[in-house]
Each structure stands twice: as C-alpha cells, then as structure tokens.
Chain A
Amino acid sequence: MRVSLDRMGDLLPAALPVLLMLLALPLIGSPSAWVTLTAAGLAMGMMIFIMASGLTLIFGLMDVLNFGHGAFISIGAYVATLVLLPLAGWTQADALGWNLAALVPALLAAMAATGALGLVFERVVVRPVYGQHLKQILVTMGGLIVAEQLLAALWGPNQIALPLPAALRGSIVLGDAAIEKYRLIAVIVGLAVFVAMLAILNRTKLGLLIRAGVENGEMVEALGYRVRRLFVAVFAAGSALAGLGGVMWALYRESVTAGMGLEVMILVFIVVIVGGLGSVGGCFLGSVLVALLANYTGFLAPKLALGSNILLMVAILMWRPQGLYPVGKG
C-alpha cells in the first residue's frame, strides 16, 4: 500500500478511522446500533471514495479543479436506469443470477457512457481553461449546471425510483445487530476499487507515470512522456468511476435525481481536500472518516450532521494543512 502509506511509514492518519470507531462506541452505547451505524458509515465511505478517487488524481495530475465531476455521478445513475428499469423483471426476480444479469450491464453501460462523456468534457470544457483556476471553477461549475438541466429536460424533473435488485435487499443479522446486505456489497466493491487502483498505481508503468506526474509533471515530460495524454486517460477513468459511484449511490437511495451529483459533490470535495489533493490513499481514508462521522453524528446529534464534516475538515487541515497524505509537489 505504498500510495496510501507512502510518506515513509506515516501511519497516524490510517489509525484515525479506528480511533473514531472506538470513540463512538461508548457515546452510542448500544453495540448493535454501533455495528449498524459503522456498517452504514463504511458503505457510504466506499461509495464516496469511488466517486472521489478519480477527482483527486485529476487534480493531482493537472491542477484541474473539476466541479463538473458531479455531473458524471448523476449521468451514471440515469444511464443505469435505462438498463435497469426495462429489465425490472430480472432485477425484481428473487434470483441473484437474474439480478446480476441486469446489474452488471447497467454498471458497464454507466461507466462507458460517463467515461466517454469525460473525454468530451475534458476536451470541450476543461482544456480551454488550463492553468486558470478561477475560470476552471466557473466553467466546470457551469458544465455541472448545464448537465443537470439537460438531465432534467431529458428525464423530467421528478425523481425516478430505482429499486434495489431483490437479492440485494434485506439484512444479515449478527446477534442483535442487522447489517444491510447492500452495505456489505458496497464495502466489497469499494475495497475492490481501492485495491485495483493501488495495484495499478504501484505495479504498472502507467501507474508509475501517474504517480510521478502528480508529483512533478514537468519532469515526466522531460523524461519523454506526454503528460497530457496520461491526463486525458485519467480524466476518462475518473469520470467512469464517478459514474459507477453514481449508480451505487442511486441504488443506495433507491432513487435518481438530476441534483444528486451536486449534493454529493460537497462530501466528495471534503474528502479530496482532507485526504491531500492527489493522494488516493488519503482520499480513501478521508472518505471513511467523513462517512463514519456523518453516520455517528446523524444518530447522536442529527442537527450537526453536515456541520460535523466541515468541522472535521477544519480540524484535519489545522493538523495537516496539506491533508492527511500530502503529495510532495516537485
């Protein structure tokens, strides 16, 4: 896990989620409620990570602040409805095989569509404003709003119900505690994405180039590689991951709305900043922290739920101004 733990064995941030969990247990009191909340937090954290992981690399590699990332979250969810709703017979059959026969193509379609749109978005919206942060914020924000309006125009302003496939419903009971099956699945998928990203970043030449590019893109160019091309590939992959996260998020809420991407973008930005811009490992930890905290405070002090994440961000940035795992810019 060199990417997450690369800063020379700096393990302290990695211990934070565990500390948070231990701290929450006596506050919550009931172990079964704690298990349920922790599972919910981990599941939500994994989904946020999937949505945020691409964004952190996009920033790290080319210093691009892409608010448009949220559009791919919504678009992914809408594209999935194009597959899942016509195949409702398969998703609602109480047979995992049939459920997956609908779900897997839906996920692939969502990722293909958002990946391809990512390529277009990079070329048309992002490329003209390289190196100009203020314009990037305005233009990518504009892109997000336009995308939302287009989705609302194409699919209508109402939310679309997206029921979970039948086999993924229900809970697993552990003593007094119940863990929703879908949350477990979200954790597994999130971990799989994390492990795959680490494997690519640490074990492949492409991954080496991405990590080197995040540190010092100019030097990567001076060694004879086109960072631009690398960036376009990362942008498309990051957009596809946002699409994947969007589908998972929509299934979690069992509904799709045009505004869902923008809503979740606040959390996505918090975890990217908390983790350290450009750091995949930091993004992973940040996601888990933010989601655990949101679930714990949602239970303990519902009024503080959103504020708690802002507080978390402030506290972490006071401790580490560059985030949990700062990426040394050369």
Chain B
Amino acid sequence: MAEALLELAGVHTHIGRYHIVQGADIAVPAGGLTMLLGRNGAGKTTTLRTIMGLWRASAGHVRFDGRDIAALATPDVARLGIAYVPESMGVFASLTVKENMVLAARDRALNDARLAWIFRLFPALERFWLLPAGALSGGQKQMLSIARALIEPRRLLLVDEPTKGLAPAIIDMLIEAFQELKRVRTTVLLVEQNFRVARALGDTVAVMDDGRIVHAGAMAALADDEALQQRLLGLSLASHQ
C-alpha cells in the first residue's frame, strides 16, 4: 500500500464537555480514495473538522505529509493543499457560482482547462455560472461545493457525505465524478452513509463507531463480507445496497 499522505494517530476531540472523537487512528494512502464509514453520530464529521482545524484536537497527532498539523489554524491547513467539502456544503448563496469558484481558486485566476474539465463533470455549473448559488438545487450545490475543491490541484480532498439527500441519478453522476478523480490519482477521504457509493469508490476503508475506528482495511474485503458489514454498520447502511 502507498505511503499515507494523511495520518491520524490517537486523535481525541472534545466539543465543550463532550468527548466526541476518542482516539481515532486513520491512514489515508496517497493517490487513493479512503472511505470513512459509520453510523449517525459516530464522529465522522467531527473527525474531518478536526483535520481542518475547525475543532482543535485535544490529544494525538494529525500528520500531513509527515508534518503535524494538529495545531495549525484552518486557513493554514487549507493552504497546505487540503480542500474541504463540508456536510452542509458551505456554498455562499448570495455569491454567483463563478464568484464561489473565484474565491476557491484563491490567489490564482480561474484556469480555463481546469474549468472545462469541471464543466464536463458537472454541466449544470456552466449553465448557472452567473446565477446566485442560492438558486441552485441541492444536488447542484453539492456539485459546486465539490467543484470548489477541484478548481486548483489540491493534495487532499476531505468530502463529507456528498450524496446525502440526493436522487439516485445525481448520486450516479457524483460517483462518476469521483471515479474521474481516482483516474487522476487524487487523494480523497470520503465520508459516506451510502454503501453503494462506498463499494463503488473506496480503495481503503475505515469504520468509525463512538469516536473510535473499529475496522480498517481494503474496501473490497468489506464489500464482500456481509457478516462484517452487518456487525460494523448494522442495517442502516446495508439497506442502501
């Protein structure tokens, strides 16, 4: 297996007096797509927010390319090349699609070739380019949120439940987009509840429960082992198949 680009070792996160992440160990191999699965409330979102520095880890290490980033401020984490697609999408509703993308490109001008590639993945964004992002549908907002993470080459993508609440056809479109990302060897840590998506995309998988990683390994192995799925994820996930 390729060397880990991102590595969480014994990470704990407290929110107020609640102990949410309780010693998580996760390795995200470079160039692959790692799934982070787990029941509602397992601590997946909190884990991604901790990586981004939106919550501060109270113990443990978050290593990115060998460097401990647990104490960095969020903008500095982002500028290391880590892009974040939050569960709430974080689309700026009063800004146009274009303006959302301009901010995501940071100091650089929008790159035409890259934009053409993004429009091929998500044609709706081209159609609504100059419309306020608040006017987009839920699926289109999700596409915009992912597109923002792609507008410049980033080293790692953290994506939180992109298929939540979307119709199957839109989910298929997102699956195709992530497959394209895999072809160009983008490193991704993807949180999902939808097992069909996980099966289609994951190279490796980590399963979280109650703030701990309870299983880690190859996605294919988990996909083939229904008993293990049942034990780790229960019916809620398995029923998505």
Q: Interface residues, chain A, CB within 8 Å of chain B?
A: 2-3, 6-8, 205, 208-209, 211-212, 215-216, 218-226, 327-328, 330
Contacts and interface: CB of A to CB of B under 8 A. Distances in A.
Contacts of B84: 222
Given A8-B135, A330-B93, A222 B102 contact: no
Contacts of A6: 94, 132
Given A6-B132, A224-B78, A225-B75, A215 B86 contact: no
Contacts of B90: 216, 218-219, 222, 330
Contact of B75 (A208, A212, A226, A328): A226
Contacts of A8: 132, 134-135
Interface string B85-113: 01010111111000100111010000000
A208 B88 contact: no
A214 to B, nearest CB: 8
Contacts of B134: 8, 328
Residue of B54, B74, B79, B102 with highest tally of chain A CB at under 10 A: B74
Interface in B114-152: 132, 134-135, 148
6 contacts: A8-B134, A205-B103, A212-B95, A215-B95, A222-B90, A328-B93
Contacts of B57: none
A281 to B, nearest CB: 10
Contact of B92 (A2, A7, A211, A225): A211
B11 interface: no
Interface in B55-92: 73-75, 78-79, 84, 86, 88, 90-92
Interface of B: 52, 54, 73-75, 78-79, 84, 86, 88, 90-95, 99, 102-104, 106, 132, 134-135, 148
B196 to A, nearest CB: 28
A2 B73 CA distance: 32
Contacts of A330: 88, 90-93
Given A208-B103, A212-B103, A2 B94 contact: yes
The 4 closest A-B pairs by CB, nearest first: A219-B90, A224-B78, A221-B74, A212-B92
Contacts of B79: 224
A3 B148 CA distance: 22
B148 A223 contact: yes
Residue of B75, B86, B148 with highest tally of chain A CB at under 10 A: B75
Contacts of B92: 211-212, 215-216, 219, 330
A222 B94 contact: no
B93 A223 contact: no
Nearest to B90: A219
B78 A223 contact: yes
B89 to A, nearest CB: 8
Residue of A215, A224, A226, A327 with highest tally of chain B CB at under 10 A: A224
Nearest to A330: B90
Given A215-B93, A219-B86, 10 more contacts: A3-B94, A205-B102, A212-B103, A218-B74, A222-B90, A223-B104, A224-B78, A226-B73, A330-B90, A330-B93
Given A6-B132, A8-B135, A223 B94 contact: no
A208 B78 contact: no
Contacts of B74: 218, 221-222
A8 B88 CA distance: 21
A3 B95 CA distance: 9
B13 to A, nearest CB: 16
Residue of B86, B91, B93, B135 with highest tally of chain A CB at under 10 A: B93
A200 to B, nearest CB: 14
Residue of A8, A218, A222, A225 with highest tally of chain B CB at under 10 A: A222
A224 to B, nearest CB: 4
Nearest to B92: A212
B54 A222 contact: yes
Contacts of A221: 54, 73-75, 78
A225 B102 CA distance: 13
Contact of B94 (A205, A211, A218, A219): A211
Contacts of B99: 208
Contacts of A205: 102-103
A328 B84 CA distance: 21
B79 to A, nearest CB: 5
Residue of B73, B92, B95, B106 with highest tally of chain A CB at under 10 A: B92
Contacts of A7: 94
Contacts of B102: 205, 208
A226 B92 CA distance: 17
A223 B91 CA distance: 11
A224 B132 contact: no
Nearest to B76: A224
A222 B75 CA distance: 6
A216 to B, nearest CB: 6
